[in-house]
Amino acid sequence: MEETGSTKSIPELYGSLVFNDRVMKERLPKDVYRAVHQTIKNGTHLELDVANTVAAVMKNWAIEHGATHYTHWFQPMTGLTAEKHDSFISPTGDGGVVLDFSGKELVKGEPDASSFPSGGLRATFEARGYTAWDPSSPAFIKDGTLYIPTAFCSYGGEALDKKTPLLRSMEALSTEAVKVLHLLGIDEVSHVDTTVGSEQEYFLIDKDLYKERKDLLLCGRTLIGAPAPKGQEMEDHYFGVLKPKVSEYMHDLDTELWKLGVPAKTKHNEVAPSQHELAPVFETANVAVDHNQLTMEMMKKVADKHNYACLLHEKPFEGINGSGKHNNWSIITDTGVNLLDPGATPDQNMQFLVFLMAVITAVDEYADLLRCSVATAGNDHRLGANEAPPAIISIFVGDELAAVLKSIDDGTAFKGTGKTPMGMGAAVLPHIMRDTTDRNRTSPFAFTGNKFEFRMPGSALSVADPNIVLNTAVAEALSDIYDALKDVPKENFDAELKKLLKELLDEHKKVLFNGNGYTDEWVAEAEKRGLYNLKSLPEAMPHLISEKSVELFTKHKVFTRSELESRYEIFLENYSKTVHIESLTMQEMVRKDFISGLVSYEKALTEEMSGKKAVLPSAKCTVETDVLSTLDTEADAIDAALTKLGVDTKRAESDADVLHVAKYYHDTILADMDELRRHVDAAEALIPEAYLPYPTYGELLFSLR
């Protein structure tokens, strides 16, 4: 049976349900293991006889761990994961069965593709789709099923998922990076990988309270709700002591993730009440994406066992911090060198400077596509608030690298100070070396030592999308660097390289900003620099299908034009559908739930006033009268706003143009919802909780014990 891990040590527990390299080395014949390893390393074709052997060994291993079924696990354009379970049984003809699993079943599946988002790539009657095994991401066992990570494509070969273009982008970056490294004389490198560590923020709330909120159940965020008397202003939750039951949840979550080989490393309370964070160790990008999808799934599953609801929406509560997913990204060679490690002398580390400049160039050139990659209806509510970066993409490099880049720009010698000891004023404290730069939490794209942290992705997002764009954009920048230097004579190479770096810096330094990204001054300055400020998904999405975008992705064979156009359609449709559901949910919640509480409280106040006057005819009932007057005014405004929202939502249903519809939902429907919420929240603040048929912000945010 599947092992619980309760009696295992952590090293024994970790990866115990994963068909990883260690298991393959132990169980596969040596020649088969080598063949699989070469497939993973070089992308070579896996022969059927090898696949058959792997499948047989994988099946036996899975059965030993209690598995009865297998599934090709893939990531369609829903942003979630998908799976169809098949048992290992195969009838023998004599009324019995044997357990069987072939190489063909391992490497290819045929799920129905007609009901997944395709953005016009597939008609409903064109149902055939294929899943293809990704051997670079290990299979694992969950809930008695062997999960096989796969890519998902249509009958015509078009990518219908997020993994396929991610793998393509990783190959594109590797190809261009290796060419540049060889140009720099680093010939031993044959492959590079991008590594990713995705910090995952989330909220935990009481499940019973969660079930009483239609907006949380159907939309993942609260659509109405007056602020609690206390929010996050005391800053006492951040890194605070974990509450015992929350600590138990986090322990169980770690255990479940470790069994699945997810390297969950850090856990702590975040800024907002009931908000928390989990951060993993870096992994190869496609494995990191798979593991982040597993992490989100397990967060919800384990929460349910603890009578919690886990909220992954980017902005579940108005007026307090939303949740992000910080995408820590770097590049590492197959010889183990981090290409974004500046070393002790970054000004002399030409390898580092070339790749640093490639990233700066890529982010500046394709900032609009990076913004598209994190654009969702939920994330639009979060970006620009106090816990999230603005919608303007800029790069923070810190003081030391800024000085290095300035020396390149000015043609002057770099004078670095290196790390210096910190004086903390108490002899008993250890000597601590001060880093050469501080952190900047307002920057959407920050250099943090030997990696870049992209802070714009929202907590519910698949990190495949931003990494696809980032990989491809950097591949293009490296391609241009290679083309500029490939024919330069050896004796002139160093001088021409330095000249090229200076030219690139001159052209792209406008994206560098080390200051406070939250200020109005920066918004004005960014506009002067010509930086994009794409505040919403409908505003950003046309950039995804621009000729510049099509040229980038088709050149590096990451997307075809039709695949890009399909994603454009899907993203806009999902945005409109999300806001539409929110509008209908809000209307129902206000009409059926809130108004009944409002009317009941007004009736109770009226009866209380009548009772007072019956006893004391001269009673003025000033307080009750003022409250009733305010509630009556808000009730009229609520009725008008509710009517307008209903009419406008109906109007949206008749339009067919996806971009026009999305803009209408953003400009009109969200504005209607904001107006309705303003009056509902103002009235709710006057109504006792006993009259409200749903839990308030105070109950939701401070219910955990």
Decide: residue 657, CB within 10 A, 0-12 exposed, 13-18 middle, 19+ buried: exposed
- In this prediction, residue 613 carries a pLDDT of 84
Contact between residue 16 and residue 5 where contact means Cβ atoms under 8 Å apart: yes
b/e map of 335-352 (b: 16 or more CB within 10 Å)?
A: eebbbbbbeeebbebebb
CB atoms closer than 10 angstroms to residue 185: 10
Decide: residue 470, CB within 10 A, 0-12 exposed, 13-18 middle, 19+ buried: buried
- Is 285 in a helix, a strand, or coil? helix
Calculate the alpha carbon distances from 125 to 91, 115, 128, 159, 701 in Å.
Answer: 32, 10, 9, 18, 47
For the chain, the structural domain boundaries read 10-161, 169-222+237-418+432-559, 574-701
- Is 12 in a helix, a strand, or coil? helix
- In this prediction, residue 46 carries a pLDDT of 81
pLDDT tens-digit readout, 359-368: 999 999 999 9
Contact between residue 685 and residue 630 where contact means Cβ atoms under 8 Å apart: no
- In this prediction, residue 39 carries a pLDDT of 86
Contact between residue 16 and residue 259 where contact means Cβ atoms under 8 Å apart: yes
Q: Rounded distance, CA 377 to CA 392, Å?
A: 17
- In this prediction, residue 121 carries a pLDDT of 62
With CA atoms as reference, report the closest residue to 704 among 233, 201, 234, 250.
Answer: 250
Q: Which residues pair with 204 in a beta bridge?
A: 310
- What is the model's pTM? 0.93
Query: H or E stretch including 507?
Result: helix 493-508
Q: In sequence order, which residues have a C-beta less than 8 Å from that of residue 308 and are 6 or more positions away? A: 204, 205, 206, 207, 249, 704
Ordered DSSP codes for 511-562: GB--S-TTSHHHHHHHHHHT-----SHHHHGGGGGSHHHHHHHHHTTS--HH
- In this prediction, residue 453 carries a pLDDT of 95
Contact between residue 371 and residue 444 where contact means Cβ atoms under 8 Å apart: no
Contact between residue 325 and residue 296 where contact means Cβ atoms under 8 Å apart: no
- Is 199 in a helix, a strand, or coil? strand
pLDDT tens-digit readout, 237-279: 787 888 999 999 999 999 999 999 999 999 999 989 999 999 9
Residue with structure tokens 């590797």? 174
- In this prediction, residue 125 carries a pLDDT of 45
> Would you tell me which CATH number, out of the four given (1.20.120.1770, 3.90.1150.10, 3.40.50.2000, 1.20.120.1560), belongs to the domain 574-701?
1.20.120.1560
- In this prediction, residue 5 carries a pLDDT of 47
Q: Rounded distance, CA 42 to CA 62, Å?
A: 27
Contact between residue 285 and residue 166 where contact means Cβ atoms under 8 Å apart: yes
> Would you tell me which CATH number, out of the four given (3.30.590.10, 1.25.40.10, 3.40.50.300, 3.10.20.30), belongs to the domain 169-222+237-418+432-559?
3.30.590.10
Backbone angles phi, psi at 343, to 5 degrees: 75, -175
With CA atoms as reference, report the closest residue to 678 among 60, 205, 117, 226.
Answer: 226
Contact between residue 471 and residue 421 where contact means Cβ atoms under 8 Å apart: no
> Would you tell me which CATH number, out of the four given (3.10.20.70, 3.40.50.1010, 3.40.190.10, 3.40.50.620), belongs to the domain 10-161?
3.10.20.70
Residues of the chain scoring pLDDT < 70:
1-7, 112-114, 118-128, 233-234, 384-388, 413-425, 427-441
Calculate the alpha carbon distances from 78 to 84, 369, 560 in Å.
Answer: 16, 19, 20
